[in-house]
């Protein structure tokens, strides 16, 4: 009777989210029967997977995790006006809270901090740049060594952290917008100059250099650019996985071992688990859509 060999279950990785794909490949890596090689790396000889391949997989995962985190931060970044409103409210909240606590059991600490924050009342009405400077000053004052104990006594550490986060986000947004405006101004100036010197080779070089600078900035700042990088990386990660899975199957077919059997069994269980989770996510998503009334349609009463 012909022996039946274990096959690696098929899985369509492209339908997974970035986070799901990263999680799947991390768990895949954890299943590898790794051993130390002669050069200090990790390889899986039972599956014909070299240390270079393992290192490549780890690099993919690290890069993907970094891109995914950057993309989430970009997605969570609120519009400029909204962040400004949030930091305005947080400034008012902190000052009002300190003022209110002056008549409580922690009055001494509150009185100390009220002297610090009182000059910052009304900074929300200042221009963007002035307000940013004032908030930075407020944060600096509240974090001075002589005020740390009072801040802790009033329990406003998180409020101060939130204010710093909003202010930092605002500063980053302004910097991006300023950079974009600078490039736009330079580009418009070159276009006007080009109208005068239509045949200038030097002008063409200047335009090309500016496009390169704008492209470099775009590559590091744009959400779209991050998504494009992640899309390209997903293809590379999936190709890498396919090669590793093929090697594992071939190794088990040609030279079956306890390690190869255990690995393929574990991988198939992982694939089934991921597929089940994916189907549950899709079903839940469809269920939520079915429960949401269409535009202009009111939910019916039972």
Q: What's the pLDDT tens digit per position in 82-135?
A: 888 899 999 999 999 999 999 999 999 999 999 999 999 999 999 888 999 999
Cα separation, 16 vs 230, in Å, equals 13
Domain positions in the chain? 13-76+225-267, 80-221
In this predicted model, what pLDDT tens digit does every residue of 143-168 receive, in sequence order? Answer: 999 999 999 999 999 999 999 988 88
CA distances from 180 to 173, 195, 210, 217 (A): 11, 23, 12, 9
Residue 78 near residue 170 (C-beta atoms within 8 A): no
Mean predicted confidence (pLDDT) in 70-84: 67
pLDDT confidence of residue 1: 42
* Residue 36 bridge partners (DSSP): 42
Eight-state DSSP code of residue 124:
G
223 contacts 74 by C-beta, under 8 angstroms: yes
**Distance set, CA 286 to CA 138, 273, 274, 281, 294 (Å):** 48, 20, 18, 9, 14
Cα 259 to chain center, whole Å? 36
Residue 296 pLDDT exceeds 50: no
Q: How confident is the model at residue 80 (pLDDT cuts 50, 70, 90)?
A: confident
Whole-angstrom CA distances from 220 to 121, 155, 166, 226, 241 are 37, 38, 21, 8, 28
CA distances to 82, 173, 174, 186, 260 from 181, rounded to whole Å, are 21, 12, 10, 9, 58
Indicate the pLDDT class of residue 173, thresholds 50, 70 and 90: confident
Kindly tell me if the per-residue pLDDT of 298 is higher than 50.
no
pLDDT digit string, tens, across residues 214-229 = 555 444 555 556 667 7
Give the three-state DSSP class for 200: coil
Helices (H) and strands (E) in the chain, counts: 10, 2
pTM for this predicted structure = 0.51
What's the pLDDT at 73?
58
**Of the candidates 237, 234, 302, 222, the residue with the CA atom closest to the CA atom of residue 56:** 237
Q: Hey, how many other C-beta atoms are within 10 angstroms of the C-beta on 290?
A: 7
Report whether 234 contacts 14 (CB < 8 A). Answer: yes
* Residue-wise pLDDT tens digits, 228-250: 778 888 899 999 999 999 999 99
Q: How far apart are CA 13 and CA 282, in angstroms?
A: 15
Residue 200 has pLDDT above 60, yes or no: no
Which residue pairs from 96-99 have beta carbons closer than 8 angstroms and sit at least 24 positions apart in sequence?
97/154, 97/156, 97/159, 98/154, 98/156
Q: What are the structure tokens assigned to 225, written together? A: 């650019």
């Amino acid at each position: 009777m012909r022996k039946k060999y274990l096959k690696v279950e098929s899985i369509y990785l492209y339908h997974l989210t970035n986070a799901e794909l990263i999680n799947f490949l991390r768990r895949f890596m954890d299943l590898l029967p790794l051993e130390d090689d002669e050069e200090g790396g990790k390889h899986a000889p039972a599956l014909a997977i070299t240390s270079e391949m393992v290192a490549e997989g780890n690099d993919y995962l690290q890069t993907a995790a970094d891109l995914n985190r950057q993309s989430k931060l970009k997605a969570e970044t609120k519009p400029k006006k909204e962040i400004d409103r949030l930091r305005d409210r947080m400034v008012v909240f902190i000052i009002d809270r300190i003022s209110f606590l002056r008549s409580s059991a922690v009055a001494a600490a509150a009185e100390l901090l009220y002297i610090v924050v009182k000059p910052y009342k009304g900074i929300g009405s200042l221009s963007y740049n002035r307000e940013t400077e004032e908030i930075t000053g407020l944060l600096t004052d509240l974090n001075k060594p002589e005020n740390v104990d009072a801040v802790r006594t009033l329990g406003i550490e998180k409020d101060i952290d939130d204010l710093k986060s909003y202010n930092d986000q605002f500063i980053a947004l302004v910097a991006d917008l300023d950079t974009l405006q600078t490039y736009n101004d330079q580009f418009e100036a070159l276009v006007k100059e080009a109208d005068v010197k239509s045949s200038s080779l030097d002008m063409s070089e200047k335009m090309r250099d500016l496009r390169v600078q704008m492209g470099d900035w775009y590559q590091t700042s744009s959400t779209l650019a991050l998504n494009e990088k992640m899309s390209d990386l997903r293809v590379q990660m999936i190709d890498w996985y396919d090669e590793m899975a093929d090697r594992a199957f071939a190794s088990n077919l040609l030279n079956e071992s306890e390690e190869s059997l255990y690995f393929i069994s574990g991988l198939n269980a992982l694939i089934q688990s991921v597929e089940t989770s994916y189907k549950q996510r899709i079903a839940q998503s469809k269920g939520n859509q079915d429960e949401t009334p269409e535009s202009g349609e009111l939910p019916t009463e039972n």
